[in-house]
Amino acid sequence: MIDWPLVSVIIFLPLIGALIILFIKEDELTSINIKWAALLATLGTFILSLILWLQFDYSNPSYQYEEKFRWFDDFNFFYHVGVDGISLFMILLSTFLTPLCILASWNNIKKRVKEYMLSFLFLETVMIGMFASIDILLFYIFFEAVLIPMYLIIGIWGGNRRIYASFKFFLYTLLGSVLMLIAIIVMYRNTSSMSIEFLQGNYFSYNTQLFLWLAFFASFAVKIPMWPFHTWLPDAHVEAPTAGSVILAGVLLKMGGYGFIRFSLGMLPEATEFFIPLIMTLSIVAIVYTSLVALAQTDIKKLIAYSSVAHMGIVTIGIFLVNQQGLEGAMMQMISHGLVSAALFLCVGVIYDRMHTREIEFYGGLVQRMPLYATVFMIFMLGSVGLPGTSGFIGEFLVIVGAFKFSSYVVIGAAFGIILSAVYMLYLYKRIIFGTITNNKLADILDINTREKIILIPLAISVILLGIFPNLFLDPMRLSLELIITNYEIANAK
Amino acid sequence: MLNNIYNIFFIPEIFLACSSFVCLLFGLFLKKNAFRQTSNLAVFVLLLTILLVYYDSESNFANYKSLFSHSSFINFFKILALLGSIASIIISKDYFLGIKLKNFEIPVLFLFSTLGMMLMIASNNLMSMYLAIELQSLSLYVAAAIKRDSISSAESGVKYFILGALSSGILLYGFSLIYGFTGSMNFNEISFYLSKYDNLNLGLIFGLVFVMVGLAFKVSAVPFHMWTPDVYEGAPNSITGFFAIVPKIAAVALIYRFCLVPFENFYLEWSQIILFLSIASMFLGAIAAIAQSNIKRLLAYSSIGHIGYILIALVAANDDGIKAASIYMFSYMIMNVAIFAILLSLKVKNEYLINISDLKGLSKSNPIVSLSISIIMLSMAGIPPFIGFFGKFYVFIAAIEQELYVLSVLGVLASVISAFYYLRIIKIMYFDESISEGIINFQISFQSKIILSLSLFVIICFIFYPSLLINISASLTI
């Protein structure tokens, strides 16, 4: 195995990149250096994180690459990081998407390039750190620190209503996460431990669990987001710059799902059992309602934002089925959504960069001028719909298979949502890609250039790879998920 | 144990008192640069006093046992107050010279008020406590009104004086009731006397309430906070800085000692009062600050909010609470030193910055300054990874240890509301398009720069090595 602190290096490499950038003076000529430095730092992080995957021990359900240092003398807080099957792909998703984000903002971020890159590198550090932490306090610190760069990214480089959106995003998420802080302290008080590994036994009385569960729910339900806590999301997505939306949809929403698996399922099994009907109801409402809302949108980004909420509904159903298919499906759906929605936002970014509008009505007939674009867009659109052979299918299929064990009503709800997703995505595709060009401004629009190809093609490949070889991703996470399910069943059998 | 009569001069308070007089005379006889030299001397004196406090031994206190007490908690807060005082003298030097307020009395007033604070923190007797409070307050009244040709400064001084005198009167009345019903002024004797009873009688409850009102005024807890925004606004910025940084430290230590020493067995009686003060301060501090356009008023409400959190730790009334209070107070001091070091060096069109909206465009003209302000604001809002988060974190640990779940939830909710106005400052600096660029000047002296860098370093890097402060504060006994 690896005898150097690989996880810490992955966590802090972007931060080191940020420190280097801090000392590059920004002007017209050097802003390209800043971009390259950011790109190299994030690419380096991605390559290192691939080592995590290659060296990963599939037969070990618990944490690997552990590093543990005493951090606070008076309490049992540790700097404790590691990777298991659940966090592995979340980390990979973050490290994979960040360089693409840097590339996507290569030309369209013109003001304050330095601050922009600093924000992204800091964001990458805290995202990876959050998924890798095994100490809850460390988790919490990273979880909240995510707000800082994201607030700046939306607020400085966002659209017209960026200030409203950034405040809404920050305060909404903060409100959820401070309640989690209380829950974390209560957990610590009861067990004198902050280790996620340790707390995944069942240590809390039933009533305590109910309160703790609600506190965690407040935080993760806002983050993921579940209906009716989703209202920050369309604003944040629409107003954020393209790369901001990519990270928001690609990684930040997954923090909620990840938290549900780790904390709600792992630590509070009995309360989870109690609240499952609530989650299922909210998820089905989310899927159906937000799909219908998506259908009515006139702004492409907003449409994709609402579709995210619907897809996350599938994820929460999958998680709270608490069986092997459901959890694997939820994980796959999260990874797939991370890639697909990120790619869709990037696709929107491509035409937004050219035309500076996101109104669906403005476009039409793009296939005439941008055949290559139409092709990649189609791959992602089908991935979002869940066509077999794309990543979306695996997740949705597994969740529905798992849902049959639970209740056929849930299956009907989820399937209805999937049909609706096909409706709004195909309708969107028809309106902007097909037909003849009616708008004269589109007459000389250019197809995607090399830089955009470099961004979109890896995403397209991974969407298809995920659809054809799901075991590549399912095998590493299987045992970790099984462990959570076993613990859950033992706790509830008592 | 005073073998040698000269030992008496090594008692920090006596040393500080004598040196303050020396400073006064020194300033009086200097012809040129009196203000600057006196300030330097004052800083030097305070540094020496810190050393004396650090090496102070209990034996020195033998003769004053009935009046003053000696403990690690007291020493910690004394050092905190001295550090705050040093920092605020250094950062305000250039400001005073900038507004041509060169009275050498200012550093001397700071010294006397610091002396009052040290006595406040250490006092173990109602009478010494009252005198210490008065020594501290009188110096501050004068300091608030020091800019004699300014109406707002005079107004703030008078306002502070009248309300302060009123609160002192209430305090004194409370003392007289407590003395009347227990027959003693010494904290320990009161505690001993009270330990014989299960309940406080009506007179003592009245006494306790009156004293609490007086102390709440001194820490500016809601509903006795009215003076704070007005005094902060009216006084010259650097005096405001001193008000924000130092007296709160002493007042908080005092309210802790008063609740936990003489009335330690009557937790239920005083905790209800503190509970109310705490919740009201957190929420009023958070909500009222939203509408402020003057940065000093905003910081005044922000400090009211912070006091609310510190009082949560007092309601918890356990060892964790004392630890939390000292960590919180330390972070509060550091953050205020940093923000005032910046405010006292920022000029807009050759006037010192007052309106928050003048910060517009700062991120373009002074990226480092605006980054620093953002970090301080996020830290004050309690967002990790900065030191402000750990202050709040320890407060909530203490509260939950005592099963104060509702109070903790209210506390975090208030912190979300207060995050709004801290974010607003970042928004103004970064998000708003500036109409006029280059009108903001940032000129900072070398010494202030050191103070600013040090405090920023602590704010950012606390997370990497928290044990240093935490081990100290964990060992404190009241």
Which whole number is the average pLDDT over A245-273?
90
Question: Is A170's Cβ below 8 Å from some Cβ in B?
Answer: yes
Provide the shortest C-alpha distance from residue B201 to chain A (in Å). 36
Among A75, A156, A181, whose Cβ lies nearest the Cβ of B431? A156
CA torsion A130-A133-A134-A137 (nearest 10°) is -70
User: How much is the average pLDDT of B156-175?
Assistant: 93
Look at residue B254 and tell me whether its pLDDT is greater than 90. Answer: yes
Q: Is B470 within 8 Å of A73 when comparing Cβ atoms?
A: yes
Give φ, ψ of B56 to 5 degrees: -65, 140
Per-residue confidence (pLDDT) for residue B441, from 0 to 100? 81
d(C-alpha A226, C-alpha A317), whole Å: 11
* Residue A24 at interface with chain B, using a CB cutoff of 8 Å: no
Inter-chain residue contact A74 with B397, CB threshold 8 Å? no
Give residue A440's pLDDT: 79
Residue B330 carries which DSSP code? Answer: H
Residues in contact with B363: Cβ distance below 8 Å, sequence separation at least 6, in sequence order: A112, A115, B370, B371, B429, B430
Mutant choice from B290, B394, B396, B400 vs A, greatest count of A C-beta within 10 A: B400
A189 at interface of B, judged by CB pairs closer than 8 A: yes
**Dihedral sign from CA coordinates of A426, A429, A434, A440:** positive
User: Phi, psi (5° rounding) for residue A66?
Assistant: -70, 145
Taking alpha carbons only, the member of B168, B172, B167, B175 closest to residue B203 is B175
Q: Do B400 and A174 touch (CB under 8 A)?
A: no
Task: Find the mean pLDDT for residues A205-233.
Answer: 90
As given in the structure block, the two tokens for residue B261 are 């020493």
Element (H, E) at B347: strand B346-348
Gyration radius from chain B CA atoms: 22
Q: Which residues pair with A133 in a beta bridge?
A: A81
CB–CB contact B405 A186 (8 Å)? yes
Share of chain B above pLDDT 70, in %: 96
pLDDT band, residue B450 (cuts 50/70/90): very high
Query: In this predicted model, what pLDDT tens digit does every residue of A387-401 receive, in sequence order?
Result: 888 888 999 999 999
**Which pLDDT value is given to residue B60?**
64
Say how far apart CA A411 and CA A462 lie, in whole Å: 28
Nearest-angstrom CA–CA distance, A343 and A448: 14
Distances in Å between the Cα of B148 and the Cα atoms of B101, B154, B160, B235, B236 are 10, 6, 15, 11, 11
Q: Which H or E run contains B441?
A: strand B440-442
Query: B107 vs B348, which has greater pLDDT?
Result: B107
- Residue B472 pLDDT greater than 50, yes or no: yes
One-letter amino acid at B220 equals S
Q: Is the pLDDT of residue B1 over 50?
A: no
State residue A109's pLDDT score.
81
- Residue at token pair 């005493």: A70
Residue B5 has pLDDT above 70, yes or no: no
User: Which residue, chain included where needed, has tokens 């969740």?
Assistant: A399
Which residues lie below 8 Å from residue B25, measured CB to CB, with a gap of 6+?
Answer: none
Q: Which two tokens stand for residue B265?
A: 């067995």
Burial group, residue A153, by CB count within 10 angstroms (0-12, 13-18, 19+): buried
**Three-class secondary structure of residue B437 per DSSP:** coil
Q: Which two tokens stand for residue B399?
A: 């509260």
Tell me the backbone φ, ψ of residue A271, rounded to 5 degrees.
-65, -40
Adjacent-strand bridge partners of A135: A195
Residues of B with CB under 8 A from a CB of A: 323, 363, 367, 378, 383-385, 389, 393, 396-397, 400-401, 405, 408-409, 412-413, 415-416, 419-420, 423, 426-427, 430-431, 463, 466-467, 470-471, 474
Whether residue A182 and residue B419 make contact (CB cut-off 8 A), yes or no, is: no
A124 to chain B, any CB pair closer than 8 A? The answer is no
Nearest to B384 among A145, A151, A162 (CB): A145
Helix (H) or strand (E) holding B346: strand B346-348
A171 with B393: Cβ contact below 8 A: no
Give the CA-trace dihedral at A322, A324, A328, A329, to 10 degrees: -70
pLDDT at residue B425 tops 60 = yes
Residue B336 pLDDT:
95
Q: Tell me what the mean pLDDT of segment B322-333 comes to.
A: 93
Q: Which residues of A touch B415 (CB under 8 A)?
A: 178
ipTM entry = 0.90
Position B81 scores a pLDDT of 95
Residues of chain A contacting B368 with CB distance shorter than 8 Å: none
- How far apart are alpha carbons A332 and A470 in whole angstroms? 8
- In chain B, % of residues over pLDDT 90: 58
Residue A158 is encoded by which pair of tokens? 């966002």
Rounded to whole angstroms, the Cα distance separating A243 from A150 reads: 11
Which residues 6+ apart lie within 8 Å of A217 measured at CB?
A: A264, A275
User: What is the pLDDT confidence band of residue A217, given thresholds at 50, 70 and 90?
Assistant: very high
Q: How far apart are CA B319 and CA A375, in angstroms?
A: 66
Instruction: Give the closest residue to B159 by CA, choosing from B242, B92, B229, B108.
Output: B229
- Reference A91, options A334, A344, A265; nearest CA is A334
**A21-30: long-range contacts, CB 8 A cutoff, minimum separation 24:** A21/A114, A21/A117, A21/A118, A21/A121, A22/A114, A22/A118, A24/A114, A26/A113, A26/A114
Mean pLDDT of the region B177-186: 91
- B62 band by pLDDT with thresholds 50, 70 and 90: low
Distance, CA of A134 to CA of A67 (rounded, Å): 9
Report whether the peptide linkage leading into residue A458 is cis, meaning its omega lies within 30 degrees of zero. no
* Pairing, β B351-352 against β A78-83: unpaired
Q: In B382-443, where does DSSP find H-type helix? A: 387-401, 405-430
Confidence of residue A94 (pLDDT cuts 50, 70, 90): very high
Q: Is A167 on the interface with B (CB under 8 A)?
A: yes
Q: Which of A24, A111, A119, A151 to mutate to test the interface with B (most CBs of B within 10 A)?
A: A151
Which run of H or of E encompasses B144? Answer: helix B126-144
As a whole number, the mean pLDDT across chain A is 88
Q: B359 with B369: CB under 8 angstroms? A: no
Name the residue among B400, B420, B430 with its Cβ closest to that of A189: B400
Q: Which residues lie closer than 8 Å to A446 by C-beta, 6 or more apart?
A: A354, A369, A370
Task: Give the model's confidence band at B417: pLDDT under 50 very low, under 70 low, under 90 confident, else very high.
Answer: very high
- A95, A49 in Cβ contact below 8 A? yes
Q: From the centroid of its chain, how far is CA A25? A: 33
> Which residue is listed with tokens 């373009």?
B364
Q: Do residues A12 and A125 touch, judged by C-beta distance below 8 A?
A: yes
Taking only the tens place, the pLDDT of each residue in A159-204 is 888 889 999 999 989 988 899 999 999 988 888 888 888 888 767 8
Out of B363, B397, B426, whose CB is closest to A185? B397
Number of Cβ within 10 Å of residue B265's Cβ equals 14
pLDDT in tens, A332-377: 999 999 999 999 999 998 888 888 888 888 888 888 888 888 889 9
A75, A163, A181 ranked by CB distance to B427: nearest: A163
Our CA dihedral for A168, A174, A179, A182, rounded to 10 degrees, sits at -160
The region of weakest confidence among A16-30, A58-72, A423-437, B51-65 is B51-65
C-alpha–C-alpha distance, residues A373 and A453, integer Å: 9
Give the integer Cα–Cα distance in Å for A262 and B260: 41
Give yes or no for a contact between A151 and A170, defined as CB atoms under 8 angstroms apart.
yes
Give the rounded distance of the alpha carbon of B264 from its chain centre.
Answer: 24
Which pLDDT score, from 0 to 100, does residue A205 have? 86
State the pLDDT at residue B436. Answer: 61
Looking at residue B249, its pLDDT comes to 93
User: Dihedral of CA A74/A77/A79/A82: which sign?
Assistant: positive
Closest partner CB to B400 (pick from A115, A144, A185): A185
